[in-house]
Amino acid sequence: MRPVLIATASNLVAVVSGVWLGEHVGGPYGLLLGVVVACSLAFISARTLWRTSSAGALAMAMMTLVVFALPWAAGASESTLAFNECETHGERVREALARYRDKHHEFPARLSDLSMHLPGELIFPPHFLKYERTSTGYTLSFSDWLVTHEASDQRAFLANK
C-alpha cells in the first residue's frame, strides 16, 4: 500500500509543479527543466512500484509524464495569455493609478487596492505585473525571459531587452 501512496503523491506533485513551471519558467531552459522534473517524478513513481509489478511501474511512470505534461502545457498557455493581457491592458492600470491618486492624494500601497481586475494574474503567484510605490510616484513592470516592459507615473510602458 505504501508504494501506491508514494506514486500517487508523486503524481500530485507532478500536477502542481507542472502548472507552476509552465507559468513561471519560460525561455530556452523552461522546457528542459520541465522534462527533467517530469522524468524525475516518473522515475520516483516507477521505482516505488517496481518490486510489486514492473508493468505497473512502467504504466505509472507513463501516467506521471502525462500528468505532468498536461498541466505544464496549461500553465505555459496561461502564462502567454497573462503576458499578452499585460501588453494590451497595462495602460488601464496606469489610468486607474492616476484616478486613485486624484481621489486619495497618493498612490496605493498595493495594486490590489485599485479594486479592479489586474492583467497578468496567474494561477500561482508571483503574478506578471509588478508594482512599487516610490517616494515620488510608482514603477510598474512586467517581463518574460526576453523582454521587460516598464512604466512609471511619468511615462508609458517601454520595452527593453
CA–CA distance, 95 with 82 (Å, rounded to integer): 19
User: Is the same domain home to 121 and 146?
Assistant: yes
Per-residue pLDDT, averaged over 22-46, amounts to 88
On the CB side of 124, CA atoms within 13 Å amount to 16
With cut-offs at 50, 70 and 90, classify the pLDDT of residue 1.
low
Domain region containing 20: 2-78
Per-residue pLDDT, averaged over 79-89, amounts to 94
**Span 36-77, pLDDT tens digits:** 999 999 998 888 888 888 898 899 899 999 999 999 999 999
CB neighbour class for 35 (10 Å; exposed up to 12, middle 13-18, buried from 19)? middle
User: Is the same domain home to 23 and 34?
Assistant: yes
Residue length, the chain?
161
Three-class secondary structure of residue 70 per DSSP:
helix
User: Is the same domain home to 73 and 95?
Assistant: no
- Terminus-to-terminus CA distance in the chain, angstroms? 52
User: Is the same domain home to 44 and 101?
Assistant: no
